[in-house]
Each structure stands twice: as C-alpha cells, then as structure tokens.
Amino acid sequence: MKTGPVQNRTKVSTETGAVQFRGLPDERTDPRIFSLDPETDRWEIQTSEDERFAKYRDALRSYKHTSGTKLAEGLGVNKSTVSRALEQMKADGVMTAEEISICYNTAKNLNKTDDELAADLGAGEESEDF
C-alpha cells in the first residue's frame, strides 16, 4: 500500500541537558530544546535565555563580586566564559553595561573596610566615639 505525504504533521521536540559533566559547567551544559519544524523539515535549537544567563545575572545582583575575575571565581568558571556571557547579555538586552558596572561598584562599596569608608567620607582625622 502506497500513501501520499502526511498532511497533519506536528512539531516534535525534545529537551537535552547535562546531568553529569567532567569539567567546569558552562553554556555548553545548559539545557537546549531541539524541535523539528514540520513546515521546513529543519531542526530548530532553542536555549532559554533566562536559564542561560540567570546564574550570571543573579551572581551580579548578589553584590558579592567586584570584578569579572571575582565573578568567574565565585561561579567556578573561566574568566573568558564570564566575559563572553556578559557581552552576550549586553547584546541581547538582558543587562546593560551600566547595570553591570553598578553591580560591581555596589559590591566594591559593600566590601570596604571601616577605614576605607572613613577615608571616603573624609573622616580620616580624629573623631569622637559615641
């Protein structure tokens, strides 16, 4: 029996992600959704931008990291991975360069010692203890 082309084709999708990975996790281990488009017979590969950049955005907004190097150390990834992710975040409009700078500067201010804060305020001279 010979049949003609299927008229009611539906989109088929599957999601992948690394459960165990020998090495430092980065965007290569993030979940992806592979879908076969019935109209074009081509595979589409989707990553969730929120998922992909969430760890970088959340780490920046924790105000614990004062630089890209410190951010990379905190996340356990290479500095170049952080640099690429931040550039992509800026390009995709996830965060602006100004927002990233504000996060770093806020972290620097929060991590200052009492002496550094006093010097910033110009109170490095004698002061009365209350």
Supply the pLDDT for residue 2: 47
pLDDT of 48 above 50 = yes
Q: Which residue has the higher pLDDT, 130 or 61?
A: 61
Q: Which residue has the higher pLDDT, 12 or 128?
A: 12
Does the reported pTM lie above 0.85? no
The domain in which residue 53 lies consists of 17-118
13 φ/ψ angles, rounded to the nearest 5 degrees: -135, 150
Smallest CA-to-CA distance from 103 within 92, 90, 115, 116 is with 90
Instruction: Fill in the amino acid letter for 23.
Output: G
pLDDT class for 105, splitting at 50, 70, 90?
very high
Does some domain include residue 8? Answer: no
Does some domain include residue 126? Answer: no
- pLDDT tens digits for range 16-34: 665 555 666 666 666 677 7
Q: How many domains does the chain have?
A: 1
Q: How many CA atoms lie within 13 A of 23 on its CB side?
A: 7
